[in-house]
Each structure stands twice: as C-alpha cells, then as structure tokens.
Amino acid sequence: MDCRERGDSVHKSAASRLAALSGILVRNRAGLCLVSTMSEYFESVGRSLRMKITGVETLVCHARMRNWVFVKVLTDQPGLFGWGEATLEWHTRSVVGAVDDLSQLLIGEDPTRVEHLWQMMWRQHFWHGSGIVRSTAIAGIDLALWDIVGKVHGVPCHKLWGGPVRDFIRLYCHLGGGDMESFYETPVDNAKRFGELAQRAVAEGFTAFKSMAVPSTMPIEGLRPVRAAEACVAAMREAVGERIDIMVDCHARPSPAMGMQFAKVLEPYGLYFLEEPCWPESIDGLAAINAAVTTPIATGERVTHLAAFRDLFAAKGCEVCQLDITHCGGFTEARRVAALADAYRIALAPHNPQGPVSTAASIEFGFSQPSYIICESVHNDVPWRSEIVDEGFQLDTKTRTVTPNTRPGLGVSINEEAVRQHPFQQEVLQRVFYPDGGVGDW
Ligand SMILES: [Mg+2]
C-alpha cells in the first residue's frame, strides 16, 4: 500500500475511528489513505516511530556576496527529507565541515526527536555549540529536522507551535533590494543617492527599508562622519515622508562613543530602529546608547545562544532582538530566546539577508511569535534567486507582505539542479582599513 511504502506518520481522525470496522483512514503527506486492519495501522505507526536519519548533506550555492549553504537531512523513509540553511559568509568551508562533524552524532537517530538531537549537537563531544561556526551548523540541521517534523504531521512549522498569531507579515528590504553595490557601497557623502534608493524601495511596495548610512569610523572622529550620516538620513526622510519606516544599520562599525553620537544626531528623524551602534561585545555601550535616545536600538545577529541573549536583555542593551535563526541554533534555540525576549517585552526582527530557506524559516517563526514585528528580506541579491526555490508562503508584491505558508514544514522545495549551476566560489572579500592603515570594521 502506497502510504505504508512511504512509511509516513499516521494519525487517526474522528472520521478514521468511525471507519475502524471496515478500514482505517490514515493521513500522510500525500493525503488520506486506507489501511484494512488494526494491525496494519499499528504497523504503519510503528514504522514512523522507527524512522531514522540516514544522512546529512550540504549543498553550496554561490550567490555573489554569500555562499548559501543548504542542509538536507535524509531519512530512511522514501521521499522524506528536510531542508535547512547554514549560510555563514566567508566561513563556508568551515560550516560545511562542521555539519559533517555533527552528522556523526545523528546518523541512525530518530529525526523527530528534535530537542533531544539539539541537546546532543550542542553539548556532546565536550565543546559546547556556542561558537558561530558550530551554532550555524547546528541551526542548519535543526531547521531541516523541524521541516521533517512538519512533513510527518502534514502541517507548516508554525502550526506545530500553536498556529498563526497574525494574518500577515510585513517585509522590509535593503536599499537596492539587496544588491551588494547599492546597500553596502553607496558612499555616505552621496546623500542624494540614499534618497533616490529610498524612493525606489517605496515604489516597489515596501513600507520599510534599511540603509547603511553610517560610515566606518575610528574609535573617535570629529563631526564629518556624523554630519554625513545625518545628511543621508535627512535625504531619505525627505524622499519618503513620515509614513515609511527607515532603519539604519551601523554594522557595529562605531565605538560606543561614536555610536552615541550617531544615535543622538539621528534621533530627530524617527528611525524605526538603529542597528548595531557598537560592537555586540560592548553590552554596556549598547545599554548606554539605548538609555540615551528614544530610537529603539537593535542588535543580536552575532549573538549565538540563550545565555548571551540573557546578558544582553538583562543589561537593557536593545529594544529589538535581531537573532539570526540560522546562526543561533535554529528554531529550537530561537524559540527559547523569543520566550526570554517576551519577558523583557523586547521585539523580534530576525536577521535574514541570506538565502531562501533562511527567509522561509523567518516567516514560519514570525507566524508563531507574538513579538515578531517585521521580516528582513532581500530579493535582488542575485537575479536567479527565484530559480533556486519554490516557496510556500504567498507574497503580495504590492504591499510587500506575506500570508502564511500552507505546505508542510518550511514549505520550500529547492531546485538542486539549479543550485549545481552556481558552485562554491570565494565570497567577495570585504576588508576595511582606516585612512592610517589600521584595521577597521566592515
Ligand atoms: Mg546588521
């Protein structure tokens, strides 16, 4: 019987119980099917309980600034596998190796014991999983495991966690839609260009966008970079008015002292949030800036585990938590971070400039989390992005909002043949030096 050959999970509905005398309806990913006896039913259930992981693969897709690292967890059930993403710019080979190392813990294990497997990946073999390479590798696998669980039960991931908490999610874009030159390389002495790109984002339907209007600065500099940043933000506000939300990402370039200057000079422009005004390690600096301005301070994309978020939240270092689901251990740890953020009434706006599985994960997460406010998105990083993925959520390009995915798991299918057309290449290096030759932050 087809459903048994597939070995999919089964669960009786009320209708199936009524059908018990003549046969039992069971649900699998292909829909409902009939087993003729109770013993067949329990054998089918037992088959799902004996499900095992048979392999963990990585597929690397070169996307200019990034190599998207897709993680595929295979099972012994024909046709049942999960997709995750573990993209970590400039550390692609390290993450691929880390996924391979972790897979040794997973082969033969039940993929539906996600928390148990997460604990193994994070705690076993002595070294904890909090470093960025391993936490990213864990995340890629964890997302794929949740994708499998959703497929086993025939529901999107957000329904596994209590169902949708909102009707739609708003997207924000990078200036230029994520093309490297517009977002990262528009010089801050060209305020007019910032205004033009802002208008283009709004013309594309976005009601919110992010810019990098703060230059790289030495630990202390004079007024010039501060005034340049102010001019860029003023130009964007002038271009789009007050009904559009503007974000500025400082990329943790400034010192706490310079971050404070940028935060204060930009405060009158009513930013939706000001991102990484100083290094994430400078929790005291973040807290001081957050206390000094009404602009919400956002950070968290480089924070990889619950205890580090605890320290950040307890210090009042931010109002917006930008956890990266593909860097902080996947859904399993992200859900704990979200619960902790709720205790502090901190908003969630996950970091998501990576590939399409990361976006699907952010969307699933967003439909399950009350404090989620907006989804970071890129659509113009490479022209063939849509060839790589078929997504389950519905995008309204007029309003740049999405409605929930109705497919099982993450709802994505990856075109592996298309991925193979973009094999690994070294990412474009982004190296910053100050005018005196010293090393700066990108
Ligand atoms: Mg950022």
Q: Are 175 and 290 members of one domain?
A: yes
User: Which pLDDT belongs to residue 185?
Assistant: 80
Measured in Å, residue 296 CA sits from the centre of ligand 1 at 14
Q: Are 200 and 150 members of one domain?
A: no
Domain range for 7: 2-49
Q: Are 112 and 82 members of one domain?
A: yes
351 flagged as catalytic: yes
pTM above 0.85, yes or no: yes
125 flagged as catalytic: no
Q: Are 137 and 34 members of one domain?
A: no
User: Which pLDDT belongs to residue 44?
Assistant: 55
- Which CATH number characterizes residue 346's domain? 3.20.20.120
User: Which pLDDT belongs to residue 153?
Assistant: 97
Is 358 part of a structural domain of the chain? yes
Q: Are 165 and 194 members of one domain?
A: yes
Tokens of 87: 């993209």
pLDDT averaged over 10-residue windows placed end to end, the chain, 442 residues: 37 40 45 52 59 98 95 97 98 98 97 98 92 98 98 98 98 88 82 96 97 96 97 98 98 97 98 97 98 98 98 98 98 98 98 97 98 95 93 96 98 97 93 94 92
Structural domain count of the chain = 3
Is 432 part of a structural domain of the chain? no
User: Which pLDDT belongs to residue 216?
Assistant: 94
Q: Are 280 and 241 members of one domain?
A: yes
Measured in Å, residue 164 CA sits from the centre of ligand 1 at 27
Measured in Å, residue 10 CA sits from the centre of ligand 1 at 43
User: Which pLDDT belongs to residue 177?
Assistant: 83
| CB under 5 Å of ion ligand 1: residues | 249
Q: Are 295 and 355 members of one domain?
A: yes
Q: Are 166 and 150 members of one domain?
A: no
Active-site residue among 62, 153, 305, 351? 351
Cα→Cα distances 96→26, 82, 83, 195, 383, Å: 38, 17, 15, 40, 25
Q: Is 169 exposed, middle or buried (CB count within 10 Å of its CB: 0-12, 13-18, 19+)?
A: buried
User: Which pLDDT belongs to residue 213?
Assistant: 96
d(CA 356, CA 372): 19
Tokens of 417: 């043949």
Q: Are 286 and 377 members of one domain?
A: yes
Active-site residue among 153, 158, 251, 327? 251
User: Which pLDDT belongs to residue 176?
Assistant: 87
Three-state SS at 211: strand
Q: Are 145 and 260 members of one domain?
A: no
